[in-house]
Amino acid sequence: MAVTVKIPTQLRAAAGGVTDAEVEGSTVGEALDSLYEQFSDLRDRISGDGGLRRFVNVYVAGEDIRFLDGLDTSVSDGDEITILPAVAGG
Amino acid sequence: MASAEALKCKECKAEFPLDASYVCDRCFGPLEVSYRPLGDIDVAEFRRRIQGGPQNIWRYADFLPVETQPGSSGRNTSRAGLPAGCTPLVRADRLAERLGLGEVWVKNDAANPTHSFKDRVVAVAVARARELGFDTLACASTGNLANAVAAAGAAYGMESYVFIPADLEEQKILATGIYGTRLVAVRGSYDDVNRLCTELSAEHPWAFVNVNLRPYYAEGSKTLAYETVEQLGWRTPDRVVAPIASGSLFTKIARGFEEWLELGLANGEVPVFNGAQAAGCSPVAQAFEAGHDVCRPVRPDTIAKSLAIGNPADGPYAIELARSTGGAVDAVTDDEIRAGVRLLAETTGIFTETAGGVTTAVLAKLAQRGDIGADERVVLYITGDGLKTIDVARGTFEIHEIEPSLAAFEEALPDAVAA
């Protein structure tokens, strides 16, 4: 499945300056693994302790994956995954 | 004498220049302003200088992240923009008596230019935004921030974009639009608004006060602690009860106390911190109760819309603070919130919005639970005005409508005649 991952500005330097990337995977976790294969520097910035770092939010089609199935959330062709910092607002 | 030195990641401690950034690009942790240590200070002289400062938050400019104190100085004048802060700390003996407590004070931050504590954080964020060369302000808001940013834009003559959830109370929408801001009502929750603004902040060269300017913005809440200390005769209270939405206010009040205790400007200890949330949006209270370090996001459903953040940015730090000071984070139902608004109004003469109802209801809960010692000095942080959520008052009292005659009055209120 080809899905698009939108890279936040803070991570673009570690992703060769791109704003989004085409990746493969049928779940968010697989899609992120596919992203790390393209840009190995992203792995440590996004993931830790077997999950996501605590200040990283991930959305599929605008929905926080913690309201879905987390990293097991399924994604299908054409879906858009957005990675954003969690520290805004309030 | 501003002493801000860098932005520092709260997680991995990496340092960054004092520009418009808010996220560590190594670990995604939040950035926070760090200051050069002031070292040994002459406490008496420092206190005199503060007391001789303006009647607004800029009397504490030494502890705020601005290079130059904004605008002209003068003891009784605002330096620039709207004069935030220096709000009353009211001793609330009737409230204390009703709850069986020893000593309760109400820090009434409804007495700010746009009637909530948000004028403090906006004043600092906008001052820094101007130093950094921004000409447009923006924010994601649950209502109070919308009022404050729109008004600050008007006061400074800066363009502003204010993003709110479309289902916000009408009072807050009207009291924002009147300032001439560009008001955007987003069909979704505050968390949706916040996500949108996080994305927008990467696309537009605007000062989103609570996104890319958030490290500066958050510092403004420390002034609530400084003022409390000053108003209590340079002492910290024993306990504070404050609302938690994102957790920024809650944790920065603590930081304010810590800074002044360290310098010797405040006497006493770091107070016990009790956080207040609405049961309909209590990710921090739930995590505290369950013993977790991180908050699981929730979908808010509460009348306390100004606290309706389901995905609180500073949640982990708020939990940590409540635990480390021996406090707690409690949640109260919408009915308890309404009762809280009423209780504060009828015992202190202070009419607060639903967020203040949350805080007051949590104080009542702590009192009932026996958590508060008889000799404790407690400060209740009331962060917004009742006129912002006026529907809460509807139907809670009787109105005696009469013809304009003595007979009609006596008939309607016979007990008044007997007295």
Could you tell me the CATH number of the domain that includes residue A59?
Answer: 3.10.20.30
- At residue A89, the pLDDT reads 87
Residue A2 has pLDDT above 50, yes or no: yes
| pLDDT band for position B2 (cuts 50, 70, 90) | low
Query: What is the b/e burial string over B117-146, where b = at least 16 CB atoms within 10 angstroms of the residue's CB?
Result: bbbbbbbbbbbbbbeeebebbbbbbbbbbb
Residue B1 has pLDDT above 50, yes or no: no
Which tokens is B96 given?
A: 């204390």
Per-chain mean pLDDT for chain B? 95
CB A19 within 8 A of CB A6: yes
Residue B77 has pLDDT above 50, yes or no: no
Specify whether the backbone of B326 is left (phi greater than 0), alpha (psi in -120 to 50) or beta: left
ipTM for this prediction: 0.92
C-alpha pair distances (Å), B178 with each of A18, B146, B154: 41, 11, 10
| pLDDT band for position A48 (cuts 50, 70, 90) | confident
Tell me which chain B residue has its CA closest to the CA of residue A42.
B26
CB B139 within 8 A of CB B82: no
Residue B73 has pLDDT above 70, yes or no: no
**Which residue out of A42, A55, A69 would a mutagenesis test of the B interface target, given it has the greatest number of B Cβ atoms within 10 Å?**
A55
CATH 3.40.50.1100 fits B118-219, yes or no: yes
CATH 3.40.50.300 fits B89-115+221-393, yes or no: no
- Chain A residues within 8 A of B190 when measuring between CB atoms: 89
Which tokens is B184 given?
A: 């955007």
- Chain B residues within 8 A of A70 when measuring between CB atoms: none
Q: Do B140 and A8 touch (CB under 8 A)?
A: no
Report the domain count for chain A. Answer: 1
Is residue A80 in a domain? yes
What does the domain layout of chain B look like in residue ranges? 89-115+221-393, 118-219
pLDDT in tens, B44-69: 999 999 999 999 999 999 999 998 77
| pLDDT band for position B70 (cuts 50, 70, 90) | low
Q: A39 touching B, CB under 8 A?
A: no
- Prediction pTM value: 0.95
Candidate from A56, A62, A90 with C-beta closest to B245: A90
- Chain A residues within 8 A of B210 when measuring between CB atoms: 88-90
By mean pLDDT, which of B72-76, B222-226, B364-368, B390-394 is the weakest?
Answer: B72-76
A&B contacts, CB < 8 Å: 93
Average pLDDT over residues B151-165: 96
Which tokens is B341 given?
A: 């608004």
- At residue A71, the pLDDT reads 96
Distant-in-sequence, close-in-space partners of B104: CB < 8 Å, separation ≥ 6: B91, B92, B93, B95, B96, B363, B378, B379, B380
Is residue A90 in a domain? no
Average pLDDT over residues B119-146: 97
B11: number of Cβ within 10 Å: 18
Report the candidate in B2, B36, B33, B34 with the shortest Cα–Cα distance to residue B20. Answer: B33
